[in-house]
Amino acid sequence: MTNEEILKTIETSDFLNGGLLNPKQQDRFIMYVKQFSTMLDACRTIVMTQQVQDIDKVHIGEPITESAAEATEQGSPNNEGSPQYNKVTLTAVKTRSTWNISTETLQNNIEQANFEDTMMQGMTQRIATDLEMLSIQGDTTAGSATKIARLLNRLDGWDKQTENAHIVDVNGAEVDKDVFRLMKRALPKQYRGDPGLRWIMSDALVDDWVASLAEDKVAGVYGNAVEGQGLRPLGIPILAAELIPEDLPVPAGAATPAEAISHVYGPYTIVEGSNDNLDIDFTDAADATTSVIFTLTPGTLHAGQIANQINTAIAGVAGCTGEAVATNDNRLILRTKDVGVNCEVIVQDLSGPGADGAETTLGLDGIDVDGTATGGDVLEGSFIWLTNPQNFLCGLLAGTRMFTKFNEKKDTIENIVYNQIDVNVENLDAVVKAKNVRLAGL
């Protein structure tokens, strides 16, 4: 089915009475989740019929063939094959997705009567993104201080589970042909011939690899890659997974700036007199601090628009060595232009009764970070997997529940979706993970 065909199958009217999806609706929902996910579409998806479910697997890891003479029985009874039978257990845990629509939004939007269905489709797509992020980045120690943490703390995802796989630590190196060679060499020989093998990496690392081809003067390959044709380092295709993180701490080979990233995704709603002020302190390499205090323009703004406003305000302050940029997932980064241990970024707390600080709305509350000397960590790291994506398991328990009800006290339509999910790795021996891979500088 095309995206459009799947979208048409999920309508608010299906769920107005709330409750358990019927089998056809469940199939459509899972199809929708896979359609808008890279890894959940590529991995082995299992529709679980019970909360705890075992997946059987068999492994034959040693030779079962030996020399044999004519008209003689087998020489060594110890050479009889002994397949190892094992199980991978999936234990589905509950997640809850919620969103509200006010009556005023329904009245004033351009789509009028179709808006609620469009919102349902958009939110279901967001659920697909959340489940993929949880599957990759899940960490039960993430805490609950932010929305991202409250998503990720539900289970340990593939990133954390593969810390016990074959590890290649590149210690802050950028992606290049040597990284791929080291990873393939670390993969046990019995898995190297698997036609389903993929390099699984973030899209930014894919772009870095394409750029490196130009630097190495691999002209024909580079030209094809820029035109969107497939890349196959060492003959193995690349699978670009956008939700593999790109802001992990990674060792830097030189002194670094102070850099802070917001923990809230845009767009951000800025209201005049309520949350429209920011106070940012940038300290340079000479240990001189410049304070930038300014007022944001009200509205619903993406991270790039907020960054532009911050940089405009900074431009009018003499001696300021800071800047703001937007990430590709619509978050903000504040950083100093100087490098070294004296560099610092602090976002002052303007929140509280009668205050109008924007730091909490933007996810910049509590920011106080320093630069590092040579060899310190920067938040520019990622990782690469080498494995067959089908080696990654994602179990979704049949029984998704959707509820839609009207809250007359708030004059809003409230929507809640409950899912149950677990992820696992079938065979860690068939996974190589390169860690501490640094994004290339731009």
pLDDT, tens only, 360-408 = 999 999 899 998 877 678 888 999 999 999 999 999 999 888 887 788 8
Question: Which of 123-137, 193-207, 219-233, 421-435 shows the lowest mean pLDDT across its residues?
Answer: 219-233
Q: Which pLDDT belongs to residue 9?
A: 45
Q: Strands 392-397, 19-20: parallel, antiparallel or unpaired by DSSP?
A: unpaired
Q: Which pLDDT belongs to residue 379?
A: 82
Mean pLDDT of 80-87: 64
- Residue 195: DSSP 8-state: T
* Burial status of residue 339 (CB atoms within 10 A of its CB: 0-12, 13-18, 19 or more): buried
Residue 15 pLDDT > 70, yes or no?
Answer: no
Of the candidates 7, 23, 6, the residue with the CA atom closest to the CA atom of residue 119:
7
CA distances from 47 to 52, 117, 206, 433 (A): 12, 26, 31, 27
Question: Is 174 or 224 the better-scoring residue by pLDDT?
Answer: 174
- CB within 8 A of 110, min separation 6: which ones? none
Residue 297 binned pLDDT confidence (cut-offs 50, 70, 90): very high
Residue 225 pLDDT > 60, yes or no?
Answer: no
Q: Which pLDDT belongs to residue 5?
A: 45
Residue 17 binned pLDDT confidence (cut-offs 50, 70, 90): very low
Mean pLDDT of 69-98: 73
- Do residues 252 and 375 lie in contact, with contact meaning Cβ atoms separated by under 8 Å? yes
Residue 226 binned pLDDT confidence (cut-offs 50, 70, 90): low
The continuous run of DSSP H or E covering 120 comes out as: helix 115-137
Rounded Cα–Cα distance for residues 49 and 61 (Å): 31
- Do residues 284 and 342 lie in contact, with contact meaning Cβ atoms separated by under 8 Å? yes
Residue 170 binned pLDDT confidence (cut-offs 50, 70, 90): very high
Question: Which of 2-6, 63-67, 205-209, 432-436 shows the lowest mean pLDDT across its residues?
Answer: 2-6
For residue 68, how many other CB atoms are within 10 A of its CB? Answer: 10
CA 189 remoteness from chain centre:
30
Rounded Cα–Cα distance for residues 270 and 301 (Å): 7
Question: Is 202 or 226 the better-scoring residue by pLDDT?
Answer: 202
Angle at alpha carbon of residue 107, lines to 103 and 111, rounded to 5°? 120
- What end-to-end distance do the CA atoms of the chain give, in Å? 39
Note the maximum CA span of the chain.
96
CA distances from 401 to 40, 72, 215, 420 (A): 20, 65, 52, 10
Question: Which of 85-99, 322-336, 342-356, 388-402 shows the lowest mean pLDDT across its residues?
Answer: 342-356
- CB within 8 A of 224, min separation 6: which ones? none
Residue 117 binned pLDDT confidence (cut-offs 50, 70, 90): low
Q: Which pLDDT belongs to residue 24?
A: 78
Residue 80 binned pLDDT confidence (cut-offs 50, 70, 90): low
Q: Which pLDDT belongs to residue 6?
A: 41
Residue 109 binned pLDDT confidence (cut-offs 50, 70, 90): low
Query: pTM higher than 0.85 for the full model?
Result: no
| Share of residues in the chain with pLDDT > 70 (%) | 80
Residue 306 pLDDT > 90, yes or no?
Answer: yes
- Do residues 46 and 393 lie in contact, with contact meaning Cβ atoms separated by under 8 Å? yes
Q: Which pLDDT belongs to residue 377?
A: 80
Question: Is 100 or 288 the better-scoring residue by pLDDT?
Answer: 288
Beta-bridge partners for 69: none
Question: Which of 17-31, 83-97, 107-121 shows the lowest mean pLDDT across its residues?
Answer: 107-121
Residue 61 pLDDT > 70, yes or no?
Answer: no
Of the candidates 347, 337, 370, 373, the residue with the CA atom closest to the CA atom of residue 258:
370
Mean pLDDT of 122-151: 91
Q: Strands 322-326, 332-336: parallel, antiparallel or unpaired by DSSP?
A: antiparallel
Rounded Cα–Cα distance for residues 314 and 370 (Å): 19
Of the candidates 126, 102, 122, the residue with the CA atom closest to the CA atom of residue 12:
122
Q: Which pLDDT belongs to residue 157?
A: 98
pLDDT, tens only, 181-224 = 999 999 999 999 999 999 999 999 998 998 887 766 555 555 55
Question: Could you please report the per-residue DSSP string of 294-325?
Answer: EEPPPEEE-HHHHHHHHHHHHHTSTT--EEEE
Domains along the sequence of the chain with CATH: 1-67+85-250+380-442 (3.90.1690), 254-374 (2.60.40)
Residue 178 binned pLDDT confidence (cut-offs 50, 70, 90): very high
Q: Which pLDDT belongs to residue 436?
A: 95
Mean pLDDT of 17-29: 73
Joined tokens for residue 142: 């993430």
- Residue 114: DSSP 8-state: G
* Burial status of residue 113 (CB atoms within 10 A of its CB: 0-12, 13-18, 19 or more): exposed
Q: Which pLDDT belongs to residue 10?
A: 46
pLDDT, tens only, 238-285 = 999 999 999 898 887 788 889 899 999 899 999 998 999 999 999 999
CA distances from 252 to 130, 350, 436, 438 (A): 30, 33, 10, 8
Joined tokens for residue 10: 């999920």
Q: Which pLDDT belongs to residue 79?
A: 57
Q: Which pLDDT belongs to residue 138?
A: 97
Question: Which of 57-71, 86-100, 294-308, 404-418 shows the lowest mean pLDDT across its residues?
Answer: 57-71
